[in-house]
Structure 1
Amino acid sequence: MEYCVNDRTISYQPENARQWGDNVVLLHHANDLTNNTAMASSGYTIEKLFDAPLADIFQAACRSLLQRCWRKAGIVIPDNFVLDQYHTLVQDFTSHLAAVEHTKLIEVSDFPVPIAFLETRVSEVVGKKLRVRNPFDNQSIFHFRVVRPNSTDNNPLHRDIWLEDYDNCINLYIPIAGSNEKSSLIIVPGSHHWSESKIERTIGGAIMNGMKFNVPAVTAIDGNFDVVRPDPQLNEVLIFSPYLIHGGAVNLQADRTRISLEIRLWEH
């Protein structure tokens, strides 16, 4: 798979077999939470997150929570440590994977602010009452995504909906540190409306560089397509459809780790 972002060609080649999809638009059989919103066509929007002083409380609590997670992984955090310098502490992939085990699948009881504030804000944008609870397994969780500069820490391009437990929801990408036009999430606008027959993907979770991902990877797209890198700022949130092709967000910065908080909501 090859695509261009930041005037640079990015490519990856999963090791497993691949196939083209069926002639079906998955969004047509879903509860489309982007419908009748400003993001209906593109599949995403950037919105303000919290009012002050909640925004400052959120950022400080994210910093504290991340440091606790990293310490559980055995990482020694210096005083006054800057989050986007994570890569200076964790330089090998094995240590990074050990740290990731502590920054994923975090219960919302540990969310940096009461989760109702987030649910209310995103419900306002979507125009429907939402909550952070997956009806598939009743989990209420979030993750920190940590991508070191010029590394293979990011996942490949994919649709979340290719995992059965992520249908009918809305995705959030909240920048925490080091997120900018060279590192933020990559999106293919409008791809949530595409037929599966337009996309070739791996059979099963992608295998790349010996690492197995849960989700299949896009390996080819029939026809022209655009790739964009929305750049939400601190106290902004990127809201997007799980039916949208996204990911593949290699961090092209030289000396800053990108950290984001990722969480999903469903209609209540």
Structure 2
Amino acid sequence: MTNIGFGIDVGGSGIKGARVDLDTGEFVGDRIKILTPKPATPTAVAETIKEILTQAEWDGPVGITLPSVVRDQKALTAANIDPSWIDCDLRALMSEHLGAEREVSVLNDADAAGLAEARFGNPKAREGAVILLTLGTGIGSAYLIDGTLVPNTEFGHMVIDGKEAEHFASSAAKEREDLSYSKWAKRVSKVLNEYERLFWPSLFIVGGGISRKSEKWVPKLSVETPVVPAELRNRAGIVGAAMAVDQHLHP
């Protein structure tokens, strides 16, 4: 078993890492989780990542997801992490804390999930234009063309009927307003119909914790494009991160 990578998924509440079998998408050994430091500054998060790598006894390349738009290995936004991440030079940060010789790839968390789902999830995710949406606190997105990632889409911020999509159709909005699955599905349908009109995808993949209950709401959606739940669930970020550095992706 030689095709092993390592991925780390930085979230608002926890930072998780694991060895990944890059041929199967399965974890090798246990996942390590450490609570996200507060405040979640670049230095504090980088030191937590270093601790995970130390615990795992991993000194090879590492892929890292961030809840951020990442361009030219610079963080341009910060969602559920400290605002000091904005304009952070990720190469310099990780080089300082993880070692200058180690290859590190940092990418958006939804983009990482999209890579993983396209490789190890539904086979149709590698055909044509596919949109993956993570429905949680907001709406994260990944856009794939024949399995190739178009990085840093922010479809959840698209304005629909005067509101950002994630403000009324995220799973957080469902909880906040105590919506039934039927009422919430109408909102999600409105968002997906707009994405259909603009991008004409061949498939929607829906992830996030609420995808575990997909049978309660996916059949209620009124969209032409097929909608399927994500298959990797909470493995996707770590797996996609490990794939990114293995493929030398540095968005």
TM-score bracket, normalised by the shorter chain, equals: under 0.3
TM-score, scaled to structure 2: 0.27
TM-score, scaled to structure 1: 0.26
Greater helix proportion: 2
Between 1 and 2, higher relative CO (CA 8 Å, sep ≥ 6) is seen in 1
